[in-house]
Structure 1
Amino acid sequence: MKIGIISQWYPPEPALVPPSLAQELARRGHEVRVLTGFPNYPDGKVYPGYRQRWNDRSATDGVTVRRVPLYPSHDNSPVRRAANYLSFAATSSLAAARYLAGVDAVYVYLTPATAFAASALLRLLYRIPSVIHIQDIWPESVTQSSLAPHGGAGALMDRTLSTLMRGIYRSAAGIAVIAPSMRDLIVERGADPAKVHVVLNWTDESLFHPVDATESARREIGHRGRCTIMHAGNIGSFENIEATIRAAAAVDQSGQVDLVLVGGGFEEHSARELTSRLGAGNIRFLGRRPASEMAALYAAADYQLVTRRDLPIFHSTIPSKLPSALSCGSPVVVSVPGDASRIVERGGAGVSCPPDDWQALADRFLQAAALSPVERADMARRALDTYRSQMSMRTGVDRLEDMLRTAAGGGRPSRGNSDR
């Protein structure tokens, strides 16, 4: 097939699914054309070595990539953020009219939702079908953010974006969602159930894969024979680090559990202050580490910790940290709302508790510490099995390829088990 891929984000920006999908589809014999913007995320500045121009094309690994100009911005200004989204919607639509005119189907990495504009034009001009891969729920991702206006303007924005999304759901030939609960929500909002299929996001399997634990990595994280639980990634308000610190401090005197935090973020300073104030001697901060080192650090710990605040926007998503941990064969302790806990529980890949409850989390820390080495090894095996069967790149690309082929042929996907 001839396949178009539309994504506002593409390497060297930190985007994983669009490039790996493009490369794998090309490896499978498809002709793949990518339409994207000039890289500027997350700083809102065009990357060094790139100069915005209209007809910028390159070819790598059998994939042709065309970049179109956009307004670069990722600050806290609602006007500039809107200009960033809408400028890509406009320039990608203009370019798509010729660049993607001959494709059989289009895949749209739907974040932001305005990325759908080019595929809408292709459908209007040439009846080219599209498969959208929804990464976050609109309008909530906008209306519940710090960028949203309040009062009447906020209500108008909510109604406008809700209408936009209903139109997108109707127009798309296929809808992939990244969590089972997201499927239920999209169907509730008017999407045809026959169109909607669960395709979980995968991780970068070249970086996150099982490795043997080494003494050097154990020394790096300060492993001292206790059950060591690692929180890796952003230390921000959405992760509710305060609850994590309080839970670890509560079990300090047991002498069974250490907590290691790898990463940084806006809440790191307050987390360090809280740790000092509580006098917790079982919490260590390692700072940021390169992604290339993380598999080894994961292997040196006993469990990976995945947390999220109990907010509506997280009920229908799965934290990217979860597939990264499972892909490494790491058992997990999860304190998140929604599907992530259910995936872990069904797969026997770890232990879970409700979000925003530090006392329950402290109990799970002790529960995890009480498991024998044999039980932990079995849990690690189940973690890797869960990733390979539900979240791997091969599984995800199989399902998206099937949806694209079905969209181009006008039928229904053959993999019915992708819905749950």
Structure 2
Amino acid sequence: MVDIMKDERGRFLNVVLICGFFDSTIESFRENQFAYRLAERGHKVRIITSTASIRWRWNRAGAATNNPSENDARYTNNPNVTLIRRKPLLRIGDLVLFRLRRSDLKDADVVHVLDFRQGITAFAARLASSAGIKVIYDHEQRGDRSGSPLHTLDNRVRRAFIRYGARAPSLVRHTVTSNRVFFEETAPRYSGPFALSPLGADEKIFHVNADLRAQKRADLGLLPSDFMWLMSGKIELEKRVDEVARALAHHDKTLFLVGDISEQVRPLVHGQPNIRYLGKLPQRDMAALYNAADCSIFTTFTLSYWEALACGAHILVPSTNFSDNYLGSRVEVSRFGEPGMFEVEEERYRTEAKIEPYIAALVPTIENGTRERQSPKWLSWPRRIDELEAQYRGTLSV
């Protein structure tokens, strides 16, 4: 194991992780997992980020901001982690700028940056590249925003930062196919390699637990024979929760719903008698719900794909280039519709697209399927970190 953790020169790496935001209270975020698990394996990780909450004060959902440093000790208690927070000079939505120094990159073997749309990461990538340091970039954005002239301006700013930052990376990582498509469209001059690098599920929280399943189902008043359908996450208009509920209503089924509900969606939720809303729950309670659920429905891509699967739930997801190619052969996954439903794949449906009939048609097939509940090892964070270490080593060897 020690040889796997070290680089080609037989030593641990010095990794500088730069991101606009680092919310230490949300363990499932990729930057949190990168930092925590790389440090556990012996690598030195220096996190450089802002003091700002990932939730902007004027966010669309109206969600309250939080203290992102509340659980910093979880990371800084490991002597391999250094966490540097700086006050923003500018913050607008996902965009955040704070002071960067060349000394931030001292002794770095690799600089790992997230999402050039954040602004600061594009500048960090260029700074590292100018110093001759290898840059790994994680690209998450799948498409432009729409709906107002401000979104049009925001799209131009985001694309400008992506183009600027794209001159620096030695490797661009993406979680789904549509991330890469958008990046290539925005920064066509980038000629380096790409790596499909899906996220993972925290196996310490999300795993199959028969006792937890039985207890949660009893709490919900479910019989052993009842089939539980669950939908979770940020419940926004694009999630089409009303269509999902109607699809289940065709079969006299209840949709258990959990997560933040935007103001635009509330009337739709209250108008569906077969929706049972459970509120917003912390991660560990979500693990209990995913264990209790027989099928978890997702209408756009989310990290929760992996969390539900890790707890043994079947998942129903839209048919996209990513899900067809990466998940298509897995018996624990069902897919509905077709990629043409989307205006922005994995994220925003075409106005005329209807998902209700697709989902309704699959309900009997999914309920009649018999599957053993297990936690697939292929989606765990240890596997993801193995891949990340290999990418670091491969980049440094070029």
Residue number in structure 1 paired with 2:125: 119
Distance in 1 (alpha carbons) for counterparts of 2:147 and 2:34: 29
Whose helix fraction is larger, Structure 1's or Structure 2's? 1
Match of 2:205, SS? coil
Letter in 2 for 1:320: L
Provide the C-alpha distance between the structure 1 equivalents of 2:246 and 2:68, rounded to a whole number of angstroms.
45
Aligned partner of 1:21 in structure 2 is: 34
Match of residue 243 from structure 1: 243
1:232 aligns with 2:232: yes
CA displacement 1:254-278 (0-9 Å, x = unmatched) = xxx43211234125522333214xx
Measure how far apart 1:49 and its partner are.
Answer: 9.6
What amino acid does structure 2 have at the position aligned with 1:170? R
Distance 1:42 1:136 in 2: 17
Aligned to 2:150: 148
Distance 2:68 2:230 in 1: 37
Q: Kindly indicate whether the alpha-carbon contact (under 8 Å) linking 2:294 and 2:313 is maintained by their aligned counterparts in 1.
A: yes
**In 2, distance between residues paired with 1:235 and 1:336?**
20
Q: How many angstroms apart in 1 are the aligned matches of 2:276 and 2:157?
A: 46
Which of 245, 260, 263 aligns to 2:256? It is 260
DSSP-derived class of the 2:276 partner: strand
Q: What fraction of aligned residue pairs are identical, expressed as a percent?
A: 20
Distance 2:138 2:24 in 1: 20
What SS does the corresponding residue of 1:346 show, helix, strand or coil? coil
Report how far residue 357 of structure 1 moved: 1.7
How far apart, CA to CA, are the structure 2 residues paired with 1:191 and 1:394? 33
Task: Spell out, residue by residue over 1:109-143, the C-alpha distance to the aligned partner (whole angstroms, 9 max, x if none).
Answer: 2253412212211222x211210011214xx34x4
Q: 2:90 touches 2:96 (CA, 8 Å); kept in 1?
A: no
The 1:168–1:208 alpha-carbon spacing in structure 2 relative to 1, beyond 3 Å, is: same
User: What is the 5 A alignment of 1:235-384?
Assistant: 235-252=235-252, 257-266=253-262, 267=264, 269-276=266-273, 280=274, 283-308=275-300, 318-335=301-318, 337-340=320-323, 342-354=325-337, 356-371=354-369, 375-377=370-372, 380-381=373-374, 384=375
Q: 1:31 and 2:33 equivalent?
A: no
1-side partners of 2:325 and 2:286: how far apart? 25
- Please say if residues 263 and 287 of structure 1, whose CA atoms lie closer than 8 Å, have aligned partners that are also in contact: yes
> Gaps spanning 5+ residues in structure 2: where?
1-12, 58-63, 342-353
Report Cα offsets for 1:347-398 as digits up to 9, x if no partner: 1222221163201211111211222xxx222xx44xx33xx22x32122222
Aligned to 2:16: 4
Q: Is 2:165 aligned against 1:168?
A: yes
TM-score by length of 1: 0.75
For residues 215 and 158 of structure 1, the distance between their equivalents in structure 2, rounded to whole angstroms, comes to 47
2:114 maps to a residue whose letter is: Y
CA drift of 1:164 comes to 4.2
1:5 Cα shift?
A: 0.6
Q: Partners of 1:348 and 1:50 in 2: how far apart?
A: 40
Q: Structure 1: how far apart are the matches of 2:68 and 2:23?
A: 13
Matching residue of 1:190:
188
How far did 1:196 drift? Answer: 0.7
Please report how far the alpha carbon of residue 50 of structure 1 lies from its aligned counterpart in structure 2 after TM superposition.
6.8
User: What code does the residue aligned with 1:332 have?
Assistant: I
Secondary structure of 2:137's counterpart equals strand
Partner of 2:389: 401
Conserved? CA contact 1:306–1:336, under 8 Å: no
CA contact (8 A) 2:295 2:314 kept: yes
How far has the Cα of 1:197 moved from its partner?
A: 0.6
CA positional deviation for 1:160 = 6.2
Taking a change above 3 Å as real, the CA distance of residues 7 and 159 of structure 1, as seen in their structure-2 partners, is closer
SS in structure 2 of the partner of residue 347 of structure 1 = coil
Q: Is 1:110 aligned with 2:93?
A: no
Q: Give per-residue Cα distances to partners, 1:137-167, cap 9 Å, x unaligned.
A: 4xx34x43657355xxx4xx75665454344
Shift, 1:327, TM fit: 1.6
What TM-score, normalized to structure 2?
A: 0.79
Q: CA contact under 8 A between 1:247 and 1:361: conserved in structure 2?
A: yes
Task: Give me the whole-angstrom Cα distance separating, in 2, the residues matched to 1:327 and 1:72.
Answer: 39
Contact 1:35 1:65 in 2 (8 A): yes
| Cα offset, 1:26, TM superposition | 2.0
Change (3 A) 1:301 1:192: same
Distance between the aligned counterparts of 2:164 and 2:90, measured in 1? 27
- The unaligned stretches of length 5 or more in structure 1 are 52-57, 74-79, 309-317, 412-420
Deviates more, 1:25-34 or 1:163-172: 163-172
